[in-house]
Structures are given as structure tokens and as C-alpha cells.
Structure 1
Amino acid sequence: MWYGAHVSIAGGIDQGIRRGEDLGCTAIQTFGGSPRTINFTPIAPTVVAHYQQLKTKSRIKVHILHGVYLINLASEKAEYLQACVANLICYQKLAYDLGALGTVFHVGSHKGLGFEAVADQVGAALTQVIKASPPDVDLILENTAGQNGAIGAAYSELASLRDRVERQGAAGHRLAIGLDTQHAFGAGYDLRKMAEVERLVNDIDQTWGLEALKVIHVNDSQVGCGTKKDRHANLGQGEIGLASLGQTINHPKLQSKPLILEVPGDDHSGPRREDVANLKQLLSNKDENME
């Protein structure tokens, strides 16, 4: 089973492997550069080579890039939109060089205009990214809580974008999806109830097929179900709770998916070794969680 955390790449992307090892990870997620700018800075080939050397010797075999939060493919500003497209293309090329699964990212916000008003533009932008990206890396659309017009609170919205990509002549199978447990909870899936976990799984299966689900972000929630807010909490310290998170990630149709923590830790510095240990324990207790 592949499990781990989002880790810092301060000092170089190769340092992500070291930090993941220190936390006890078998999978990691990182940014591909500074998350504070939409402009991508290429990574030196020597750093990529060192990364590959470290990864070969490491127990970490799964790496997923996370797109910067500044991306908004629904932006009304044409120049900014193209900067977002260019950033994603650079990320996909980096993912290919690293042997990563791909890039998971938030599509963006319609800012009150409504999904249908921006869907064609977003579909066209995704098409641009796919056509300019290397093969064998997934462009992974993450579900959202729906805050401030964020696209993707419903998997049907993300599926509609895939359909638009296919109509524009790009390979829709190059798109994939991610599941964030806190975002799903914020969007209205009450994961404390097994029937709601089943509803979530069925929604993913019916709109995408479960083979399209490439990563699960395992996060507790600081806020209540259906609040449409994106507020992560450490496992067992939020509204979802350990048992409910356990029954979600151990659902028979979700097993084998890479699991990544995006929790605040002690002082918002990110996941700690004990958080990764808690995640591993949830996997070990799968029979109890499914009772």
C-alpha cells in the first residue's frame, strides 16, 4: 500500500525524498517549485538525476505533484489563463522527468458566474495542457468543497470538463481525478455514515469509473459537513473522526489507491511522523473500521 504525506521541497525537489523517508512514507506529494508564483522555474538536470538516485534506493516509489493554488482555468484574464496553462504544462513535463504519476490540482473558481458560464473555457485550457504534455502522466482534477465558486464539488462537474476535452479532440483518458476527504465532507458527503461513503464511491464510479481515481488526500475537517469550506484538521482531531476516515479509505473499491496526508501538524508546518503512523494504523485496522 502506498501512503504518505505532502512534504516540502525546500533546498531542492530531491529533498522531498529525504523528508518523506524521515516521516516513514512510501508515497509523497510535493509542489514542483515555489507555490507562491504562477511562473515555473526549471529544475536543473543534476538535481533531477540526484532525485532519481535517491528514489531508486528509497522505499518511496510513488510521487505526485500538486499544482500551485494560484491556478484558475476559469480566470477572466486571458494573459493569466495562459500563464496557468503554461505552469501546468511545465509541471507535467517535470512529472514525466521524475517518473511521477502526474499533477493533481484545483481547477479554479467561476467566482459566482456559475459552472456553465466557464466550462467551455476550462475545457479548452485542459485540452491545451493535455496536447502539450508528455505521455504517461495524468492530469488529475481534485474535488473541492465548493468554497467561493470552486469548481469540482460535484464529480459530475469534473466529468463534464472531461467530455469537453474529448469533443475538442484531446484524449480524455489523460484526465484523472483525486479525492480529498475533507473537501468531500465540506461539499456535503457525510463520511460518518457508511451510506454516504457508498454514495460518494458510487458517484465517482458512475461519472468517471474508479480506475480514474489516482490519489486520495486523507484529511480530517475543522468544519461541519456541507459547510462548503476547505479547512483541514489532523486525523482524529476534526469533525469526521478516525473511525469514519478509516471506513472511507478501507472501502473495498478504494483500496490500493495512494493515500496522501495534507494535515496541519503541530504549527501548520505540515504532516509529522506521528500523522503518517496514524494513517498507517488506519490501514492496519481495516476490519474494525468496516464494522
Structure 2
Amino acid sequence: MKIGVHVSIANGLAGAAKTAKSIGCDGFQIFAGNPRGWARKPIADAGFASFRTERERAELWPVVVHLSYLPNLASSDQELYEKSVLTLVEDFERANRLGADFFVFHPGKTKAVDDGLRRISLAVNQVLERISGKTVLLFENQAGAGGEVAGSLKELGQLVATVKFPERVGICFDTCHAFAAGYDLRSESGWKKTLQELDQYVGRNFLKVFHLNDCKGELGSHLDRHQHIGEGQIGLEGFRFLVNEPFLSKLPGILETPQIADGDDRKNLATLRSLMKG
């Protein structure tokens, strides 16, 4: 399995690629702008070009761009919804110009699930019609707290089924979110039940990337709190199955584990690699 971490762009886009390489990543994830703000600083053509050059030089795969935190594409607040769609367009366009392999976003939250699903689908179809490129857009599963959409694979499947360009979309499966939503990933049997549901509602061909995070909360707690690999409620055996299962291990994974002390990312990368047979 190819694995990497989420990297800051504080030192520039090309600097993020250099950082990922320096800590031993196969690939990495970034934000395309301020993750906690609506405004986007312009990126010059040279900035996109230098990123692509540095990424190629470092031989990193995959490159994943994550949408910022503020957009809510399931919102019934029309002003917020329109701002969210515009940000999705801008960041997805940036991801394509960066040459990113995947673009991940949280579907959002709402009090009316059916209306939220409709709004998300409408937004995604609009974006795919407006923005061309090879970057694959990925729906991310959520923990299911506070009206979050896509806490279940069934709802993810409903979203994928309404996309006009299915070849351009997929899902990013976050292990912490899934466990918090009630999917027991601690054992082989739990994983197999989850994969059966994936096959039933989505189709495993749409599974493209993992977010590899242990979970602080209990099974089904809906608590989205990431933990270091093996130090949360999922535990080492759950991740051992994931990184060695024939189909799943062919897919890439991005760590979003806590970064509190220097070396935390290296520690989690090393833990995962120690679980890989061969």
C-alpha cells in the first residue's frame, strides 16, 4: 500500500512536496488554500508549474487535495450553499491545475437528508460540467454526527448514483469516520461485513483512497476524533487487515493523525509499514 500524510502548504506548494518526500511519504495530501477561510490567495502559473515539477522529481503518488472546512454542500441556507459551490469549483480547478490525482470533500450536514443529498448531487454535477481535467472527485464518508450526510455507505451510494459523470468520481473511506459511524473495523470479520455493504450500495470500483486514522471514540459514538495508529479504538489488528487484504492494499492511504510532537507523522508511517507483510 502506498501511504502518505497531510502536509502543510505554509512553505508553499512546492515546499509541501519536498516535505512529504523528506519524511518518507509515497504520496501526500494538501489544502489548496486557507482551510478555515473563504478567501483564496491567487496562485501564479509559475506556482502551479513548480509544484508539478517538484512532485514529478520526488516521484510522489498519489497527490490528494482536500476541500477546506467551511463549505457545506448539503446546506439549506442558500447563501451558504452558493458560497460552498463556488469554493468547490475554485479548489477543484486548482487541484486539476496542480495535477492532483484526487480531490476529497466532506458532503456536509443538514436537517433534511433527502434535500441535502439532492443539493450535494446538484453541486457536484455543476462542478464537473464546469471544470475539466483528470483529477477524480471523491466523496468522503462522515462520522454521522449532527446531521452529517454520508455517515453510511448507503448514502454514499446514493450520491455516486446521481452523478452524470461516474468515471470522474469515487469515494474516500476514512477509517475513523467509519468506525465512529458504526462500522466495526477492529477485525477481519468486521471488515468483511463493511466490504459487503460497500459492494451492495456503492461498488468497490468507486473506492479510490483511504484516510488512515485510528479513532478516539467508541464504535458508533459519532465522535470524529482522530488518533495515532494502534492507539485508538480500532487498534493494530484492524489496520493489519487493511494494509494486507489483496484488494484494499492496492489502494493508497493518507494519514490525518494528530501532529503534536515532532516525528508524529514518521511514527505513524512506520507503524503502518510494520504491519505490512513482506
TM-score by length of 1: 0.90
Please name the residue that 1:88 is paired with: 88
CA drift at 1:5: 0.5
Q: Which letter maps to 2:58?
A: S
After superposition, residues 16-165 of structure 1 pair within 5 angstroms as: 16-110=16-110, 113-165=111-163
Retained in 2: the 8 A contact 1:234–1:265? Answer: no
CA drift at 1:259: 0.8
What SS does the aligned partner of 1:109 have? coil
Retained in 2: the 8 A contact 1:22–1:273? Answer: no
Retained in 2: the 8 A contact 1:262–1:271? Answer: no
CA drift at 1:211: 1.8
CA drift at 1:114: 3.3
Retained in 2: the 8 A contact 1:201–1:253? Answer: no
* Higher deviation after alignment, 135-144 or 117-126: 117-126
* Higher deviation after alignment, 155-164 or 195-204: 155-164
Q: Which letter maps to 1:68?
A: S
Structure 1 position 283 matched with structure 2 position 272: no
CA drift at 1:38: 2.6
Retained in 2: the 8 A contact 1:5–1:271? Answer: no
After superposition, residues 132-281 of structure 1 pair within 5 angstroms as: 132-165=130-163, 170-267=164-261, 271-281=264-274
Retained in 2: the 8 A contact 1:263–1:270? Answer: no
Distance 1:115 1:232, change over 3 A: same
Equivalent residue pairs, number: 278
Please name the residue that 2:13 is paired with: 13
Please name the residue that 1:289 is paired with: none
Q: 1:102-156: CA deviations, max 9, x gaps?
A: 211101001xx23113222222111111111213221100011101111111111
Q: 1:191-241: CA deviations, max 9, x gaps?
A: 113221011112222222222111101111111101011010001111111
Tell me, in whole angstroms, the C-alpha distance in 1 between the residues paired with 2:236 and 2:225.
16
Tell me, in whole angstroms, the C-alpha distance in 2 between the residues paired with 1:117 and 1:13.
37
Q: Which letter maps to 2:215?
A: S
Retained in 2: the 8 A contact 1:7–1:271? Answer: no
CA drift at 1:2: 1.7
CA drift at 1:264: 0.2
CA drift at 1:68: 0.9
Distance 1:174 1:259, change over 3 A: same
CA drift at 1:270: 9.0
Q: Which letter maps to 1:242?
A: L
Tell me, in whole angstroms, the C-alpha distance in 2 between the residues paired with 1:130 and 1:13.
24
What SS does the aligned partner of 1:272 have? helix
Distance 1:88 1:117, change over 3 A: closer
Tell me, in whole angstroms, the C-alpha distance in 2 between the residues paired with 1:85 and 1:273.
35
Q: Gaps (5+ residues) in structure 1?
A: 286-291
TM-score by length of 2: 0.94
Q: Gaps (5+ residues) in structure 2?
A: none
Coordinate RMSD, CA, aligned: 1.7
What SS does the aligned partner of 2:34 have? coil
Retained in 2: the 8 A contact 1:73–1:121? Answer: yes
